[in-house]
């Protein structure tokens, strides 16, 4: 795996040692960043189920201000740290958290609005969710779309990678799927916050 573009372009990253971990391919990653490139500068990015961290590191390379990497596996979190060291990303631009995705999001919701929150508590501008294909996608989508305190910025974007045979809902609460891109067996679903117009 390698960084495709930006200030870390061409740097090689370590791959997950286990075949049970399915990293996002370079080609699919390139497709993703072709779509979100203009949104990246200065953003807060969440790489949820980060694996090797390749997506989040690509985001940093292309201008994201801060990336939070979340993975349930201690080994994968160690791999993310190793790749960040390889690329020499400044420590204040990243956070690596070992946690299940839903547990991390629930804790983040519980801490929203408290004084002096750390970076991962405020709403994210961009979220990339790439879990194992057998994951409960809907449970995570509900945490983004059906909560009073939003985890996604009003102008934010949630991108979900899933198998082409896995159907995801068009809308969950206040997030709506605006775009779908298919590449081989993988699909990227792009969700945005729905703007509600109140008529007086």
The residue with greater pLDDT, 117 or 157, is 157
Full set of structural domains in the chain with CATH? 26-193 (3.40.50.150)
Give one word for 8, left, alpha or beta, with left for phi > 0 and alpha for psi -120 to 50: alpha
pLDDT for residue 197 is more than 80: no
> For the segment 151-170, what is each residue's pLDDT rounded down to a tens digit?
999 999 999 999 999 999 99
**Helix pair angle (101-110, 137-145), 10° resolution:** 20
Instruction: Give 175: exposed, middle or buried? Use CB within 10 Å, 0-12, 13-18, 19+.
Output: buried
pLDDT for position 196: 59
The residue with greater pLDDT, 23 or 135, is 135
- Region 161-186 average pLDDT: 93
Helices (H) and strands (E) in the chain, counts: 5, 8
């Amino acid at each position: 795996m390698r960084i495709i573009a930006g200030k870390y372009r061409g740097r090689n990253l370590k791959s997950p040692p286990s075949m049970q971990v399915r990293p996002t391919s370079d080609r699919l990653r390139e497709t993703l960043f072709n779509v979100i490139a203009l949104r990246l500068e200065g953003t807060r990015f969440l790489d949820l189920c980060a694996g090797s961290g390749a997506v989040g590191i690509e985001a940093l390379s292309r201008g994201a201000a801060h990336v939070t990497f979340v993975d349930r596996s201690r080994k994968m979190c160690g791999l993310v740290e190793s790749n960040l060291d390889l690329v020499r990303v400044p420590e204040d631009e990243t956070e690596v958290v070992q946690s299940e995705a839903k547990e991390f999001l629930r804790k983040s919701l519980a801490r929203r609005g408290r004084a002096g929150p750390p970076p991962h508590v405020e709403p994210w501008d961009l979220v990339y969710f790439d879990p194992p294909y057998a994951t409960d996608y809907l449970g995570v989508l509900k945490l983004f779309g059906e909560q009073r305190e939003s985890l996604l910025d009003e102008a934010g974007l949630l991108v979900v990678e899933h198998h082409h045979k896995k159907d995801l809902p068009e809308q969950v609460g206040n997030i709506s799927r605006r775009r779908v891109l298919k590449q081989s067996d993988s699909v990227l679903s792009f969700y945005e916050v729905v703007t509600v117009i109140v008529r007086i």
